[in-house]
Structure 1
């Protein structure tokens, strides 16, 4: 469990590899989509699959774009802070996504798979050589490149699941990307609802304590929540309701303080 005094650390090389691997799996999943498939609805408001793919491309292309801009003077946000701050920028993200999707649709020869392939190549050229402590002027504040790449894992894992739900084509999750996403969102919950009265277990990737109240020190905690990584990610991002997860037995919660529904989602 990460210390309150020190943020969780992520292996930069593993993170970069995870971004590349998860993006490749998304690209493979969209290659066979026809116009009907691209026009299909998603669970993200009125976005179609085409706009969802554009958003995935934008999530990765932002790395190159930010590296081209001047570095801000000081770090302002960590990966955990990013998770709780993105909702405030949803309108701008929506506008940029729609613009990219429309531009790609109107450009001859720019199919969704090609768009993702192009961004994968740009990512390999830029992120692979840039120093991890390079500061980026992101929407939510100045972040280190290594931290920002952690957030790209979250974006790719979450939206790969959205793509699966929309198309019926399973998009496999890279293990390292899945682990990173689960850990970031667990730490974001602990930051949003600080305390030590509830232990949240997401085996095999994360354990955090949260929610104000009596702190557990030894033995079996009185308040325990446990679920698998993908169910946790869906809960943390609002794709799955707490009651639905409990009813399906994908989530167990024991103890008077174990209902976390008031603290979810953590990522808008």
Structure 2
């Protein structure tokens, strides 16, 4: 679990460092994740990470039942209704801060707390997701690294910046993408998450696109 946590910390810090340079106009730029602006998309990433403390505070279930890849299975968790709730949560959270910089300070506090709490847990720790799935904490952390990595690309693309994807996050994401290069780069990650089209050769490799909200 330590390698995944290290990737989580590095990718979260990389996003934090990049976002610290955003102008107030850039915070209000639209993103491909409609209807979110840059600011609201960071609010979504913050919400996605903020589930961790409550998950760790709850009693652990006896065993894990799904993997990180199975977390992204196409069921009710990615339905129109659930996606609408996801959109509203992010927008409501972002609206609670007067500036993008203030939201960023909150995001930084949240991910650092999550990192600290997770490091106190054993590798065998099982948690329950908000969708009711028992999963190893180490596997759930893979999904949080993906959130940081993929939405980091969305944020960078929205304001015309070079991606800040870290090599350690790319290594973690590789576990979720059968047929991908040994270390997916930003371009490949866009393709594997439906943000850019796959070539015929890439489709022939059997690359499975993840179901994302």
TM superposition score normalised by structure 1 = 0.69
CA drift at 1:65: 2.3
SS in 2 for 1:203: coil
How far apart in 1 are the matches of 2:130 and 2:23?
A: 33
SS in 2 for 1:132: coil
Please tell me whether the aligned partners of residues 177 and 209 of structure 2 are also in contact (alpha carbons under 8 angstroms). Answer: no
How far apart in 2 are the matches of 1:229 and 1:29?
A: 18
Aligned to 2:188: 232
CA drift at 1:16: 0.3
Q: Does 1:63 align with 2:52?
A: yes
Please tell me whether the aligned partners of residues 27 and 37 of structure 2 are also in contact (alpha carbons under 8 angstroms). Answer: yes
Aligned to 2:84: 91
* Equivalence map 1:37-48=2 (5 Å): 37-48=26-37
SS in 1 for 2:135: strand
Aligned to 1:249: none
Q: Compare CA radii of gyration and give the structure with the larger one.
A: 1
Task: Pick the aligned partner of 1:185 from 177, 187, 190.
Answer: 177
Q: Does 1:203 align with 2:181?
A: yes
- Check 1:203–1:236 CA distance in 2 against 1; reply closer, same or farther (3 A cut): closer
Q: Which runs of 4+ in 1 moved over 6 A?
A: none
How far apart in 2 are the matches of 1:258 and 1:17?
A: 33
- Check 1:50–1:129 CA distance in 2 against 1; reply closer, same or farther (3 A cut): same
CA drift at 1:98: 1.8
Higher relative contact order, chain-length normalized (CA < 8 Å, sep 6+): 2
- Check 1:124–1:101 CA distance in 2 against 1; reply closer, same or farther (3 A cut): same
How far apart in 2 are the matches of 1:53 and 1:120?
A: 12
How far apart in 2 are the matches of 1:23 and 1:38?
A: 18
Aligned to 2:130: 139
**Aligned pairs, number:** 207
Q: Does 1:151 align with 2:143?
A: yes
CA drift at 1:122: 0.7
In structure 1, runs of 5+ residues without a counterpart are: 1-11, 187-199, 206-227, 247-251
- Check 1:109–1:21 CA distance in 2 against 1; reply closer, same or farther (3 A cut): closer
Aligned to 1:113: 104
SS in 1 for 2:201: strand
TM superposition score normalised by structure 2 = 0.85
In structure 2, runs of 5+ residues without a counterpart are: none
Alignment root-mean-square deviation, CA: 2.5
Q: Which has the higher helix share?
A: 2
Q: Does 1:51 align with 2:37?
A: no
Aligned to 1:191: none
SS in 2 for 1:84: coil
